Chains A and B, each alone.
Chain A
C-alpha cells in the first residue's frame, strides 16, 4: 500500500522536487551575493556594537539593493505558492479516483478503503512536511544576512521562516482533500479549497497575528529624526527585530523580537489544527459512506 501511494504520487513528488530545486538555485545565487555584499560593507562589525545606528548609509544601501527583490519575489511565494502546492497535491487525491471511476478498482481490492486513505494521507502528508521544511530551510539560509538587519517578525518574513510555511501547505492540502471527497472533481476541489484557505490566511495574518500576545509598550527611541526609520531597521524601540505596531507621541507599541517562536507555534498550531480537522472529517466521511 505504501508502494501504491508512492507510485500514484510519484509525478507530484518529482514536480515538487523541481520546484524546490528551482528555489534552491535562486536562493543560492541571491544568498551568496547578499553575503558578499554584507561582508563588503562591513556590516557585521557595525551591527555588533551599534545595532546598525553607526552605519546608516551602508544599511540603507544594502536594504535598497536586496529589499525589493525580497518583497516582490516573496510576496507571491508566501501568499500563493504554499496554497497552490497544497491544493494541487490534495485536490486530486480522492477526487481523481471518483472522476475516473478508479475507485471501483481501488476499493474492491483486499484493502479496506479507510486503510487505503490512511496510508495515502500519511505518506503524502509526510512528504509535504519534508517539502515545507526544506523550502523553509532554503529560504531561511538565504535570508540570514537580511534578517540580521530586520529581524523576522515582520509580516513578509515571518511567513516563510520557522514553522508556518509548512503549516500553510498542510492546511491547503487538508482542505483540498476534503473538497475532493465532497465535490468529486479535482479542479473544482482545488478552487473550492484555495479560496477559504486564502481568506483564513489573510485574516490571521492581518487581523490576528499582531495580537497573538498582548503587545508591549515602551519609550520612543530616536536616533536621527524621530518617526523616521532607516530602511527596514526599526529604531523606534532601539532594538533590531522588534515589530512596531504603532507610535503614539512618545509611546511605542510593539511585539518584541524574542516572541518569534511563540508566534510561530501559535500560527502554525492554528493551521495544523485546521488540517487535522479537515483530514479527520475526510476519513470519517469516507468510512461512513462505506458503512
Chain B
C-alpha cells in the first residue's frame, strides 16, 4: 500500500505535496499503472490531514491523467512513468540532464550545483524588481 508523507514546514500546500509524491513515485517506478492508491479516509487518518485535501489531490491527479477513480473500487494509477511528465517538462528534463553532465565534467559537486542554481534564481528576481 502506497504511503504518503507530509512536510509541514516546506511551504508547499499539502495537496500539491501529495500530487508531487505520486508523480515522483511514477517516475522512479515505485508506482505503476494499475496500482491502487489508498482511500481518502486512510490517507487523512494516516497523515492527519483534511480529507478534502486528499480529494483535491486525487482530482488534480485525474486532471493530469495520472490516476482515475473507479466507482466503488478506489483510485488507480492510469499513467506510466514515461507518460507521467507533460511534454514541455520532458524537453526541459532532457536539456537538464545535458547541463548536469557538463557541470560534472567542469568539476562541480552536488552542493556547488545547488548553490549555483540558488544564486542564479536570486539574480533573476532582483532583475524583475528594479524600478
Query: A and B: direct contact (Cβ < 8 Å)?
Result: no
